[in-house]
Amino acid sequence: MVKTAAGSIQDTAGTRSALPHDGAGQYVPTLVDRWDGLIDWDRRREGEQDFFVELLKEVGAHRVLDVAAGTGFHSVGLAEAGFDVTAADGSLEMLRRAVANGEKYGRRFEAIHTDWRTLAQHIDGRYDAVVCLGSSFPHLFAEADRRAVLAQFYEALNPGGVLVLDHRNFDAIRMHRYRSSGNFYYCGKDARVSVAHVDDELCRFQYDFPDGATHHLEVYPILKDELNSLLTQTGFDTVQDFGDFSAEFDIHESDFIIHAARKS
């Protein structure tokens, strides 16, 4: 257990996967240091316009589990909006930053360091909503892992709860139509984000920073309908899709796809 000024991190070190494409392990300290600059919290807030807050209020959510907390953008924002938030992440470095950002904005939340694959062992009770945002889920490369993790998210929900999960628009990216308006999610102006490689199994993003530093993140380029099928097969009753926060969207013109899946 690591104690911090803003709260405590339940440190489940050793639960991190040693798989070749370890999602959390890609967040090396030098990238974590740059993450908030990539996001630009103020511009990201402008882009989202309380979309997630409204979505969670619509289903009457109170207790929310942010399973890919990262540096805490949504954990902090949802806590500010009055939700009872638990932040979880497989990267201890990211989670520490989330707790520090909580402190900066005067928000405290429980923080759990765990890989999604072992989530059930570390959470206390069930939640009204699970959010997995910022194109985090594509860090899972094996279909068996995607199914197992969605089952963990499903189990973490109360009846009537909602899973809100997003990803970059890989339908477009796999057609070599990567575009980033810069208005959503990753709004910082300093870094240049490009697709260094994409095929049906792997997408490698390249982040070039003005000081000459370069980072890569590798993810599985999941398609919108592929994820919808997995959500339905997991047991979710209804799934609603959004493109860049809008229920009416053009799959070729959206930066991010958001799925809201309800458990009955």
| Residue 28 exposure: Cα atoms within 13 Å on the Cβ side | 5
Q: Which of residues 41, 52, 73, 178 is near ligand SAM by CB under 6 A?
A: 73
Nearest to 111 by CA among 121, 122, 120: 122
C-beta atoms surrounding 155 within 10 Å: 15
Should residue 77 be labelled a site residue for ligand SAM when binding is judged by CB under 6 A?
Answer: no
Should residue 112 be labelled a site residue for ligand SAM when binding is judged by CB under 6 A?
Answer: no
Q: Which of residues 116, 153, 207, 256 is near ligand SAM by CB under 6 A?
A: 116
User: CA torsion 225→231→236→237, rounded to 10°?
Assistant: 10
Give the long-range contacts of residues 170-175, CB within 8 A, separation 24 or more.
170/138, 170/203, 170/221, 170/222, 170/223, 170/224, 171/223, 171/224, 171/251, 171/252, 171/257, 172/251, 172/252, 172/254, 173/198, 173/203, 173/221, 174/198, 174/199, 174/200, 174/203, 174/221, 174/223, 175/252
Which range of residues in 104-112, 135-143, 224-232, 256-264 is near ligand SAM by CB under 6 A? 135-143
**Whole-number minimum distance, CB 185 to ligand SAM, in Å?**
6
**Whole-number minimum distance, CB 39 to ligand SAM, in Å?**
6
Q: Which of residues 97, 139, 168, 224 is near ligand SAM by CB under 6 A?
A: 139
Q: Which of residues 94, 130, 163, 164 is near ligand SAM by CB under 6 A?
A: 94
Give the nearer residue to ligand SAM in terms of CB position, either 90 or 221: 90
Should residue 70 be labelled a site residue for ligand SAM when binding is judged by CB under 6 A?
Answer: yes
**Whole-number minimum distance, CB 76 to ligand SAM, in Å?**
11
**Whole-number minimum distance, CB 82 to ligand SAM, in Å?**
20
Instruction: Give contact residues for ligand SAM (rule: CB under 6 A).
Output: 23-24, 27, 39, 68, 70, 73, 89-91, 94, 115-116, 133-136, 139
